[in-house]
Amino acid sequence: MKRKVVFGIDIGGTNIKSGIVDETGAILHADNTPTDAQAGRDSLLDKLYEIARRYKERAAGEGWEACGMGVATAGYVHAREGRIGYATSNLPGWTGVPLRDNMSRETGLPVALVNDAHAFAVGEAWIGAGKELEGFLCVTLGTGVGGSWVTKQGGTYFGRDGYAGGYGHIVIRHGGQACNCGLSGCWEQYASVRALMRQAAEAGLDDSTTGGSAKRLFELAREGHRTALDVIDQYAEYVALGMTNLIHILNPESIVVGGAITAQGGFLFDRIRAQAERQMMPAYAPVRIVPAALGEQAGLAGAAKLAWSSTSPQGE
């Protein structure tokens, strides 16, 4: 009997994470491809089609049965219509793209389309840090900031059109930093990795010092560089500020945090936890704030899980 698989693709502003996943959640093969978003919509679509073609060939060569595909993407996904309702300049030209139908037509497979933060939450709930939790909040810190709410029943709250989870556009500073969504003072402009590097440059740590790398910035902070430490402390305060707003609204038991920056571990998380404890009302404590277990593969795993759900007779 052939092993059944689906393809999971997670489109971010910087990289496309993709993989081949079986029914148990085992990731049999994974890739990381630069998004090169500034090259435009058609270039990005061509990359996605090429990934899908390559995976179909790989599945056929291994004797696996390809059953479907899940695609997660940054931006606001109109769930019912299978299109991108709105995308910021992180993905130029992406607004309005009928991605579900495009991918299905190109591959001949059923396609599930979802926002990347929701996919992250589904992946962590399926085989990651949320597997044993009874409801939790997810926050993703990457090129942008997003999130999702997983209920105690295991469902993910998508909202009327699938747009729920735009946490990055909670306004935390009236009249603050201009955001590419058209608002100003959005959490994303203070808590994304891009925002962190802007804050470092404003403090005098430009690319000549950090190489434009958040990893290098953290290395400097660990080495005791005073300015780097100040930047990281301020960043942790901004991250905690948005989280505290969400804690007061949703009253979660735990927050699972994703994005490449979570590789900084306790050096960052201890600061975020300390700031959150200072900012939240005592009645809401304690709240566990933990890194995602699946790292950068959470989104592709969640997209794959949704593909499995859409292909099962019960939709489960």
Domain ranges of the chain: 4-121+296-311, 130-293
| Inter-residue contact 167 to 244 (CB < 8 Å) | no
In tens digits, what is the pLDDT along the chain, a chain of 316 residues?
899 999 999 999 889 999 999 999 999 999 999 999 999 999 999 999 999 999 999 999 999 999 999 999 999 999 889 999 999 888 999 999 999 999 999 999 999 999 999 999 999 999 999 988 888 999 999 888 999 999 877 788 888 888 899 999 999 999 999 999 999 999 999 999 999 999 999 999 999 999 999 999 999 999 999 999 999 999 999 999 999 999 999 999 999 999 888 889 999 999 999 999 999 999 999 999 999 999 889 999 999 999 999 876 544 4
Q: Please provide the CATH number assigned to the domain covering 130-293.
A: 3.30.420.40
- The residue written with tokens 């440059």 in the block is 201
Q: Do domains 4-121+296-311 and 130-293 have the same CATH topology?
A: yes
Provide Rg for the chain, Cα atoms: 19
Nearest to 130 by CA among 121, 139, 118, 142: 121
Nearest to 72 by CA among 167, 180, 153, 158: 158
pLDDT of residue 312: 64
Q: What are phi and psi of 195, to 5 degrees?
A: -65, -40
Q: Please provide the CATH number assigned to the domain covering 4-121+296-311.
A: 3.30.420.40
Please give the C-alpha separations between residue 205 and each of 194, 214, 217, 224, in angstroms, as whole numbers: 14, 11, 8, 14
Task: Count the helix, strand and coil residues of the chain and give each as a percent rounded to the nearest 5.
Answer: 45, 20, 35
